Amino acid sequence: MSETIFSKIIRKEIPAEIVYEDDQCLAFKDVNPQAPIHVLIIPKKEIAKVADASSDDQNILGYLLLKAGEIAQDLGVKDAFRLVINNGENAGQTVFHLHVHLLAGRSFNWPPG
């Protein structure tokens, strides 16, 4: 996988407004928010996109979703948030380091398209 801006954020080479960090993941505010609350949750392990994950990544994928719920609770939006994972350029992925968007603070429509 090639170097991404998220790799640099993990190594603290680029500043980010971090809301959560542990040995497996990092969560920080999106610099181009699409909702009043817009946090990106990324694994520290480099996985380009969901389709590139292997069975070895099963635990980290589940871990990211559990952490999303905890982060939402910490941000006071436990009962009203949306999670989005884009897979590939045609799906809107712009940084090829797997990331979960946690969006909250406004109403969302369905379908999201």
Contact yes or no for 78/72 (Cβ under 8 A): yes
Question: 68-98 b/e with 16+ CB inside 10 Å = b?
Answer: beebbeebebeeebbeebbeeeeeebebbbb
User: CB-hemisphere CA count at 13 Å for 40?
Assistant: 23
Q: Which region, left, alpha or beta, applies to residue 90 given φ > 0 means left and ψ of -120 to 50 means alpha?
A: alpha
Q: What is the set of active-site residues?
A: 99
